[in-house]
């Protein structure tokens, strides 16, 4: 079994990106098979439980108040409405139910409803994941006590490129939230976005940040930018040729994530709806073993369950079934 390391250097990760493509995918596939079933994919569903009106200025996000994207701000969904959507996701075969709220950080007055939602979804037998923005240590503890399995907080890009995309919170703010989550005993979900005009060196830096955390994120979503008109990056695509990432480079990023973080679930996230079936197949060969299913990701379109079922049939893939859905809770360990 391949060694799990936290001492990866940028130079080592750059060497992975520079490998001949076939050799890189082969190495990633070997690592993947040492830690995961090669033909099982985790199915996750993502629901926006509070949309729009976010005060952050993330250049990719249609939910920012700085964006002229047409996304209307809403209030936090009713608890029962969220639970109904979770039940539908479970009936469709999802193992994890992910919930996102467009906040810079949750207010303490929001936490009782959030706690009810977590408890209700877990009682159904689904894994729970939330992304609510930055957290205080006490909020992380509340979520842990409610039984939250995963907390998502992406680092987005390399430390160097991050400040070109976001100014309202720092890279360290994001790392601090990940630390609060880990110390509370919640599993970490953290990844990034590629295709924002960054260089390969930035993609190396993004992987390096996650691969050198004291403990690797249990889930690593790899997103391809979905350019939305009215956002900073979406409008830039109309005016200047942003360095849109090609499929081969995206697969290289997936492979580097798999090799450096062998035990993590590597998820194909935003942008998958525009990928060909062949490109997705290469990602699965390179170690991706989790996807979002359904027709929508927060405010962006997604491939849809029927398309995914047809693709799985053609590729000989099947939904993850090796462990019970609540396995994350069993392995949750408070930080020392």
Residues identified as active-site: 54, 58, 61, 98, 129, 189, 267
Q: Are 93 and 318 in contact, with CB atoms under 8 Å apart?
A: no
Beta-carbon neighbour count of residue 206 at 10 Å? Answer: 29
DSSP state of 169: S
Q: Is the CB of residue 47 less than 8 Å from the CB of residue 97?
A: yes
Q: Are 5 and 210 in contact (CB under 8 A)?
A: no
Among residues 330, 102, 290, the alpha carbon closest in space to that of 191 is found at 290
Question: Could you tell me the two tokens for 151?
Answer: 């907390």
* Distance from the Cα of residue 205 to its chain's centroid: 17
Q: What angle do CA 102, 108, 110 make, to 5 degrees?
A: 50
Q: Are 178 and 135 in contact (CB under 8 A)?
A: no
Residue 88's Cβ-count burial label (10 Å; 0-12, 13-18, 19+) is middle
Contacts of 297 (CB under 8 A, 6+ apart): 46, 269, 270
**Residue found under tokens 């630390």:** 179
DSSP reduced 3-state for 35 = helix
Asked if 148 and 118 count as a contact pair (C-beta separation under 8 A), the reply is yes
């Amino acid at each position: 079994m391949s060694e799990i390391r936290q001492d990866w250097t940028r130079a080592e990760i750059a060497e992975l990106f520079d490998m001949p493509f076939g050799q890189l995918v082969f190495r990633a596939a070997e690592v993947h098979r040492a830690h995961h079933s090669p033909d099982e994919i985790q199915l996750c569903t993502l629901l926006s439980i509070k949309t729009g009106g976010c005060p952050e200025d993330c250049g990719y996000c249609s939910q920012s108040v700085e964006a002229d994207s047409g996304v209307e701000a809403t209030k936090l969904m009713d608890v029962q409405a969220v639970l109904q959507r979770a039940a539908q996701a479970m009936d469709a075969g999802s193992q994890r139910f992910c919930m996102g709220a467009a906040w810079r950080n949750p207010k303490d007055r929001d936490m009782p409803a959030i706690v009810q939602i977590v408890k209700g979804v877990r009682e159904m037998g689904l894994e729970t994941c939330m992304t609510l923005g930055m957290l205080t240590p006490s909020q992380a503890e509340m979520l842990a006590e409610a039984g939250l399995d995963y907390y998502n907080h992406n680092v987005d890009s390399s430390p160097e490129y991050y400040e070109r995309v976001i100014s309202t919170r720092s890279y360290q703010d994001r790392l601090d939230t990940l630390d609060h989550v880990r110390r509370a005993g919640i599993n970490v979900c953290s990844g990034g976005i590629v295709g924002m005009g960054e260089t390969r060196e930035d993609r190396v830096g993004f992987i390096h940040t996650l691969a050198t955390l004291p403990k690797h994120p249990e889930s690593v979503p790899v997103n391809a930018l979905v350019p939305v008109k009215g956002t900073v990056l979406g409008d830039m695509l109309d005016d200047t040729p942003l360095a849109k990432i090609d499929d081969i480079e995206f697969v290289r990023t997936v492979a580097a994530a798999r090799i450096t973080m062998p035990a993590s679930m590597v998820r194909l996230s935003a942008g998958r709806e525009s990928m060909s079936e062949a490109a997705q197949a290469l990602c699965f060969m390179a170690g991706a073993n989790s996807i979002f299913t359904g027709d929508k990701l927060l405010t962006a379109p997604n491939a849809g369950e029927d398309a995914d079922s047809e693709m799985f049939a053609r590729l000989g893939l099947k939904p993850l079934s090796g462990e019970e859905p609540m396995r994350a809770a069993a392995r949750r360990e408070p930080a020392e």
